[in-house]
Amino acid sequence: MKCENGEENSRCGMSKRQVIICSVAAALLIAAVSFWILVVDNISEELTVEAGMQDVDADAFVLREWGLSASFVTDLSTVPLSSPGDYPVQLRYCGCIFDSVIRVRDTVAPDVALRDLSVLSVIMPEPSDFVLEMHDVTQVQAVFVEEPDLSIEGNQTVTISFTDEGGNVTQKQAVLEVIFDTEGPVMDGIESYTIYLGEEVDYLSAVSITDNEDEMPVLTVDDSALDLTKGGEYEIIYTGRDISGNETVETAIITVIDDQTGPSIRGIKSITVYVGESVSYRKGISVVDDYDNDPTLTVDSSRVDLKKAGKYEVIYVARDEAGNETRESATVNVKERPAGFVDEAQIYAAADELLSKIVSEGMSDHEKVKAVYRWLQGNCRYSGSSDKSNWLQAAYVMMSKKSGDCFNYYALSRLLFERMGIPNITVRKVRNHAKDSNHYWSLVSIDGGSTYYHFDSTPRSGSGDNFCLVTDEFLDAYSASHNNSHNRDKSLYPATPASGP
C-alpha cells in the first residue's frame, strides 16, 4: 500500500502493522458489543410464580441455555412468596448485575369443607363457624352471600363465599339449625337456713346453676331485704338467667337469730382422785344450747397438780355459734393414796386375767354379760359396807377378797364390761328418805349402744332375783314391792325395750 503522494507507507503516518492492529481491535470491539447485547437479552425482566412457592431458581430468569448459571444478589428470604405482588430482585449473570421482577400471583381458589351448625336464635354465627377445613396459601375472607334469618326456627341453607388475596372465589353451602330456647336455668342448693346476729353470709357457696343450652348462665342474688343487725325472717331472691333471656327465680328464707343466751353445761361435779392418777375431765359432761346443736366445750385444768395433794379448780367454758359463753368450775380433790391402794395398771391386769377365765373367744356380748353375772353370783358374797370414793379400788377389793356390798358388785361388773368394750351406764338409786342407803347398778348394752338393759349383780333372795339384763317394767315392779329398792331419776337414763333380750 502506498500513500496518495506516492511515498512509501512508512512515510505517510500509519504503517501496515498499525493498520492490522486497528483492524483486529475493531473486530474485537464489535464482537464484545455483540456478546453484551446477547447477554442482556438472555435475562428475563420478570418471572411469574404461583403464590405459596417455597423457593425460586435464579436460572428460571435465563432465556437460553448457554451453560452459564445465574444467581440471586437479593436475599430471597425477604421476598414474600406467599403474598401476591411484584417484588424487584437483582441477579448476577456472566459477571454482570441485572434488575428483574418476581411477580407472585394467586390463581388457585380456596379449598373449603363446611359443616352444619346449630345455634340459639339470639346468637348470629360467623361464617368461619361453619368451616371444617380450609386450605389456601393466602389470606381468605369469608362472607355470607345472604345473612341467616334467626327469626325462623328450624333448618335453613346458608351460602358462604370465600375470596383469597388473588381474587379467587369459592362458594359453599351448609345447613344452619336455629334453636328457640324457652327453658330457664336450673338452680340447685338453694335452702332456707338460720344464722346469728351479725354473722357473715355466703349465699352462693352451696348453690349451682345449669342450663339446657347455655354453658354459662348467670346467677344473681338480691339480699336487699336482709338486715343482719336485727333478728327476724328475711327473704332473699335468687335469679338465674341464660343467654336467651329465660329466667328462673327462687327464694329462700334467712332466719336471723338474736341469741344472747349461753349454753348450759351439765354433769359438772367435784372430782376426787389420788396422787399420780389421771383425770378424764370431760367424762359425763354434756353441753346443750337453745339454738346451737353443737356448742364447743373447753376445759382449763392448768391449775390442777395431780402430783401433789390438795384442792384445785378446773374451769369449763362452753361457747355457742353466736359467741355466747358459759363458765363453770369444779373442784378436783387430789388425795394421798391410802394404805392398800392399787395402781390402775395392776387393776386392769387382774381384770383381764379374770376375764380370761370367765369368757371365751367367739362369745357374743349377750353371752359375755351373762357369764359375768354368773361368776359374780357364784363366787362373791355380800358384806355390809365399802369405801365408795374410788370405784376402781372397790372393783379390785371385790376381785381380791370376793366380798363387798352393792358398790363393789357394781364396780367390778363395770370394770369387766369396760375391759371388754361393752357399753354401760352407772345408775344410782335416789334415796327414799334421809337415812335410806345408796344402791348402785348398771345399764348395759349388748348391741353396741343402741339399747340398754338393767344389770344388778348384788345377791337378792326370793322370787325374781335374776337381774341380768332386765327391763324397766321388771325392775319397777320389783322395786315397788321391795320398799322402792331401785328408785331412780328416769330422766337421766335411757329407757329399756319393752321386752327382754
- Looking at residue 95, its pLDDT comes to 86
- Looking at residue 388, its pLDDT comes to 87
pTM for the complete prediction? 0.46
**Which one, of 423, 440, 425, 428, lies nearest residue 368 by Cα?**
423
Quickly list DSSP for 34-46: HHHHHHHHTB-SE
Coil, strand or helix at 441: strand
Q: Please tell me which residue, 17 or 215, carries the higher pLDDT value.
A: 215
- Looking at residue 2, its pLDDT comes to 37
Residue type, 49: V
**Which one, of 444, 394, 440, 439, lies nearest residue 417 by Cα?**
444
Cα 291–chain centre separation? 30
- Looking at residue 173, its pLDDT comes to 97
Q: Which cell numbers in the block locate residue 73?
A: 444478589
Q: Which cell numbers in the block locate residue 155?
A: 333448618
- Looking at residue 41, its pLDDT comes to 78
- Does residue 467 contact residue 453 with C-beta atoms inside 8 Å? no
CATH architecture of the domain 186-257 equals: Sandwich (2.60)
- Looking at residue 322, its pLDDT comes to 87
Sequence-distant (6+) residues with CB within 8 A of 462 are none
Distance CA 56, CA 59 (A): 9
- Looking at residue 414, its pLDDT comes to 97
Sequence-distant (6+) residues with CB within 8 A of 110 are 134, 135, 136, 140, 162, 163, 164, 168, 170
CATH architecture of the domain 42-105 equals: Sandwich (2.60)
- Dihedral angle over CA of 352, 353, 357, 360, nearest 10: 40
Instruction: Assess whether pLDDT exceeds 50 at residue 410.
Output: yes
CATH architecture of the domain 344-492 equals: Roll (3.10)
- Looking at residue 128, its pLDDT comes to 96
Instruction: Assess whether pLDDT exceeds 50 at residue 379.
Output: yes
- For residue range 333-351, what is the model confidence (pLDDT) as tens digits? 999 888 788 888 999 999 9
Quickly list DSSP for 102-123: EEEE--S--EEEE--EEEETT-
- Looking at residue 235, its pLDDT comes to 96
Window from 61-75, 151-165, 240-254 with minimum mean pLDDT = 61-75
Instruction: Assess whether pLDDT exceeds 60 at residue 38.
Output: no
Instruction: Assess whether pLDDT exceeds 90 at residue 248.
Output: yes
- Looking at residue 67, its pLDDT comes to 78
- For residue range 57-79, what is the model confidence (pLDDT) as tens digits? 999 999 987 778 999 999 999 99
- Looking at residue 14, its pLDDT comes to 61
Of the options 2.40.160.50, 1.10.390.10, 2.30.30.90, 2.60.40.10, the CATH number for the domain spanning 111-179: 2.60.40.10
**Which one, of 245, 211, 239, lies nearest residue 123 by Cα?**
245
* pLDDT average, residue stretch 262-284: 91
Q: Please tell me which residue, 268 or 431, carries the higher pLDDT value.
A: 268
* pLDDT average, residue stretch 401-425: 96
Q: Which cell numbers in the block locate residue 43?
A: 435475562
| 3-state DSSP percent of the chain in helix, strand and coil, to 5 | 20, 30, 45
Pair type for strands 325-335 and 271-274: parallel
Q: Which residue has the cell 405482588?
A: 85
Q: Which residue has the cell 387393776?
A: 347
CATH fold group of domain 264-335: Immunoglobulin-like (2.60.40)
Most confident range, picked from 198-212, 328-342, 356-370: 356-370
Instruction: Assess whether pLDDT exceeds 50 at residue 12.
Output: no
- Looking at residue 1, its pLDDT comes to 35
| Residue 277's pLDDT band (cuts 50, 70, 90) | confident
Cα 32–chain centre separation? 88
Window from 130-144, 291-305, 367-381, 434-448 with minimum mean pLDDT = 434-448
Indicate the burial class of 263 (C-beta count within 10 angstroms; 0-12, 13-18, 19 or more). buried
HSE, CB side, 13 Å, CA atoms: give it for residue 472.
13
- Looking at residue 4, its pLDDT comes to 45
Q: Please tell me which residue, 15 or 371, carries the higher pLDDT value.
A: 371
DSSP state of 22: H
- Looking at residue 126, its pLDDT comes to 97
* Alpha-carbon torsion (48, 53, 55, 60), positive or negative: negative
- For residue range 207-231, what is the model confidence (pLDDT) as tens digits? 999 999 999 999 999 999 999 889 9
- For residue range 416-468, what is the model confidence (pLDDT) as tens digits? 999 999 999 999 999 888 777 789 999 999 999 999 999 999 988 665 568 99
Coil, strand or helix at 384: coil
Distance CA 291, CA 196 (A): 9
